[in-house]
Amino acid sequence: MIKDLGDDLRAKLKNKELFTKFKKKLKRVTYNEHSEQPSHLPENYKLYVKPTQEVKYLKSQCTGRKRALLIGINYFHTQYELKGCINDVKNIKKFLIDYCNFKESDITVLTDDQDDPSKKPTKEHMLEGMRALVADAQQHDSYFLHFSGHGGQRVDLDGDEADGYDETIMPLDFKTNGEIIDDEMHNILVDGLPAGCRLTVVFDSCHSGTVLDLPYVYSTHGKVKESKLSSSFEDKRIRRKNLETKSSPADVIMFSGCKDEQTSADASENGAATGAMSHALITTLKHDSTQTYQSLLNNIRDFLRDRYSQKPQLSASHPMDMNEVFKI
């Protein structure tokens, strides 16, 4: 397939006419632009077709079970200490209960101010919490994951990052047990979800733009963004691979505090420490709960623009209609 062509093979096909014929032949094998939607699929089941790619997905009605995992780490008494992450969790929890019909009994909280050792946000507990969040997932369930804490980057080892770096989050014990990388979170949270199950994710951390490895990243204009790095043949190959392997039939949406190359700010609002992104999201949704995805992204950006350089991102596991109303 054309996606498997490397620089060495491309170099051998120096004859432009031969290369063009070869590429067209492969496209005929891998893509039929007149493919019909299978008749056995539900009426609201979408089929999104691109060259070498078909993404089947079902939007969630968010009418089933609701569950949430909220993680906030202040890293007390270390050189990495933050101020507002635990407050973020408290604010998000109240918002989910008061505005989104979540029950307190269905919300798991991991913060480093709790006395119960099982509630500490260690790497083991965070991964266990993620698995439990999506366990026995069903169509039209709605799950919510929030993380406030440190994020980072490390060298990509499996060739799925155009910039050469995986994005990570830092558990409380990251110095001894390591970071959690985007590939692992995608495997746990996204890969096993059934069609029509909603997972809404918020990462208020540095370098979090694509920390869940969702392949569709949207601009404030409602269009899928093309990476500035995607001009080379190899980068386009990586993007095609990610569209094919990391799309999902589930309904996964992520808001992140900044681009991959940016940092997310600690803030002070009404005298209390908080994450800038978390505060902007809650404030914007409280003001208007019927915003479209595009409006919500723009309003969050506008809320932060005058005081912070970070640019929150919106990504998804499937193609989105950004004019639809956001819901959890």
Residue in the structure block whose two tokens are 């491309």: 10
pLDDT bucket at 243, cuts 50 / 70 / 90: confident
- List phi, psi (to 5°) of 325: -75, 135
Q: Does domain 58-316 have CATH number 3.40.50.12660?
A: yes
Helix (H, G, I), strand (E, B) or coil at 311: coil
- What's the CA angle centered on 183, arms 182 and 189, to 5 degrees? 85
Q: What is the pLDDT of residue 270?
A: 82
Instruction: In whole angstroms, give the CA distance from residue 258 to residue 314.
Output: 10
| Half-sphere exposure (Cβ direction) of 19: Cα atoms closer than 13 Å | 11
Instruction: Identify residue 249 by its one-letter amino acid code.
Output: P
Q: What is the pLDDT of residue 27?
A: 36
Can you count the helices (H) and strands (E) in the chain?
Answer: 9, 14
Instruction: In whole angstroms, give the CA distance from residue 95 to residue 101.
Output: 9
DSSP letters along 82-107, please?
-SSHHHHHHHHHHHHHHHS---GGGE
Instruction: In whole angstroms, give the CA distance from residue 73 to residue 55.
Output: 36
- Select the highest-mean-pLDDT range: 10-24, 259-273, 309-323: 309-323
Alpha helix positions (H), the chain: 7-12, 16-30, 85-99, 123-133, 174-177, 182-189, 233-246, 276-287, 293-305
14 within 8 A of 22, measured Cβ to Cβ: no
37 within 8 A of 49, measured Cβ to Cβ: no
* Among the ranges given (26-35, 157-166, 225-234, 271-280), the one the predictor scored with the smallest mean pLDDT: 26-35
pLDDT bucket at 159, cuts 50 / 70 / 90: low
Please indicate whether residue 270 or residue 94 has the higher confidence score (pLDDT).
94
Q: What is the pLDDT of residue 325?
A: 97
- In this predicted model, what pLDDT tens digit does every residue of 31-90 receive, in sequence order? 333 334 444 444 444 444 344 455 689 999 999 999 999 999 999 999 999 999 999 999
- % of the chain residues with pLDDT over 90: 67
Instruction: In whole angstroms, give the CA distance from residue 31 to residue 33.
Output: 6
Percent helix / strand / coil, the chain, rounded to 5: 35, 25, 45
Instruction: Identify residue 78 by its one-letter amino acid code.
Output: T
61 within 8 A of 140, measured Cβ to Cβ: yes
Give the residue range(s) of CATH 3.40.50.12660 domains in the chain: 58-316
- In this predicted model, what pLDDT tens digit does every residue of 252-262 receive, in sequence order? 999 999 988 89
Q: What is the pLDDT of residue 54?
A: 59
Annotated active-site positions, please? 150, 206
Phi-psi region of 62 (alpha: psi -120 to 50; beta: other; left: phi over 0): left
pLDDT bucket at 246, cuts 50 / 70 / 90: confident
- In this predicted model, what pLDDT tens digit does every residue of 190-241 receive, in sequence order? 999 999 999 999 999 998 988 999 999 999 999 998 654 445 656 666 667 6
Residues 132-141, mean pLDDT to the nearest whole number? 98
- Asked whether residue 116 carries a pLDDT value surpassing 60, the answer given is yes
Lookup: tokens for 220? 């404030």
Q: What is the pLDDT of residue 155?
A: 82
pTM for the whole structure = 0.81
Q: What is the pLDDT of residue 56?
A: 82
Residues 310-328, mean pLDDT to the nearest whole number? 96
